[in-house]
Amino acid sequence: MKNRRVLMLAAIAGVIISLGLSGCGQSSMPSNDFTPTPSASSTISTKALAQYWVADTSRGFRLYREFVRANPAPDAITAALRQLVSQQPTDSDYVSLWPLGTTINSVTISGDLAIVDLSFPKLNLGSEAESLAIAQLIWTATAADTTVKKISLTVDGKKIESLAGHMDATQPFSRGLTYEVLAPIWITSPAENQSVAAKGFTLNGMASTFEANVVWKVFKDGVLIQQGSTTALEAAPAWKPWSVSIENLKPGTYQFFAMEYSAKDGSLVAQDTKNVILK
């Protein structure tokens, strides 16, 4: 999965199916949206900020989340969005749809609305990709400041009709429903390339799957060494946590998979993977 990034970006550019972004839709979020992964250590001058990235599933392209520590100045939304458009995700399975050279000029907050002014090179995206690019901004901004429920976009200080010609940008955007926007299954901890203790190892995540099923697998040097299944606290369309303790792992580097398979034909619906160093 780690070597499909370029192919995924090429596919995204040609997709024309729209995801559910709305100017009036009900905001929905993971229950731990504002809780950093254990790898994000605390400092006085920084804050753990959620970042939303794109990856592919059999249901289309969906959002995944990472945390980054950043100085939340001049405000948390500006800091989070500037990190999003200027950095790359830690997990190489994820990508951003915002091109290099994108900048967040300013964020103005009025009540539950954030007006985000940005500059960017031309966006050559299909409607699904344009929708996902906007979703990256919405979910990142509203995670950074929970009082903000919607965002409006301007470009170089001017109102716009659309970013890439498909999505109406004349009205504010809000979060869509989790099962329409987020990937069906995440690993939330450990984070990618995190070093953790082998003793008492626990894999944690979020899921919105059929009958709450989560399949997990453990690989070392490309060889499957353990596998099993667990369940999230509630089945789809709910978005709920899951957790599994994995025993008898010796120190070393492992790749952990969390997966959803189709109840209809057994095909892979979605997965998340994490490389983790056990010590």
Which one of 181, 213, 237 terminates a domain?
A: 181
Instruction: Give CA separation, 154 vs 85, 119, 166, 218, in Å.
Output: 16, 9, 16, 45
| pTM attached to this predicted model | 0.85
- pLDDT tens for the chain, 279 residues: list them: 454 444 454 444 444 333 444 433 334 455 455 445 444 444 558 889 999 999 988 888 899 999 998 888 889 999 999 999 999 999 999 999 999 999 999 999 999 999 999 999 888 888 889 999 999 999 999 999 999 999 999 999 999 999 988 999 999 999 999 989 999 999 999 999 999 999 999 999 999 999 999 999 999 999 999 999 999 999 999 999 999 999 999 999 999 999 999 999 999 999 999 999 999
Same domain? For 57 and 165 the reply is: yes
Same domain? For 206 and 144 the reply is: no
Of 52, 77, 67, the closest CA to residue 131 belongs to 52
Same domain? For 166 and 88 the reply is: yes
Count of the separate structural domains present in the chain: 2
Same domain? For 51 and 142 the reply is: yes
Q: Give the domain CATH number at 263.
A: 2.60.40.10
The per-residue pLDDT for 32 is 52
Same domain? For 133 and 152 the reply is: yes
Same domain? For 23 and 61 the reply is: yes
The per-residue pLDDT for 36 is 52
Contact (CB, 8 A) for 154 and 167 = no
Domain span holding position 221: 185-278
Number of CB atoms found within 10 A of residue 167's CB: 20
Q: Is 10 helix (H, G, I), strand (E, B) or coil?
A: helix
Same domain? For 38 and 76 the reply is: yes
Instruction: Give CA separation, 170 vs 22, 141, 145, 151, 159, in Å.
Output: 12, 18, 23, 11, 7
The one-letter amino acid code at 260 reads E
Same domain? For 123 and 196 the reply is: no
The per-residue pLDDT for 41 is 46
Same domain? For 177 and 208 the reply is: no
Which one of 181, 203, 238 terminates a domain?
A: 181
The per-residue pLDDT for 57 is 87
Dist. CA 226–CA 217, nearest whole Å? 6
Phi, psi of 127 (to 5 degrees): -70, -40
β-strand pairing of 158-159 with 150-155: antiparallel
Same domain? For 31 and 106 the reply is: yes
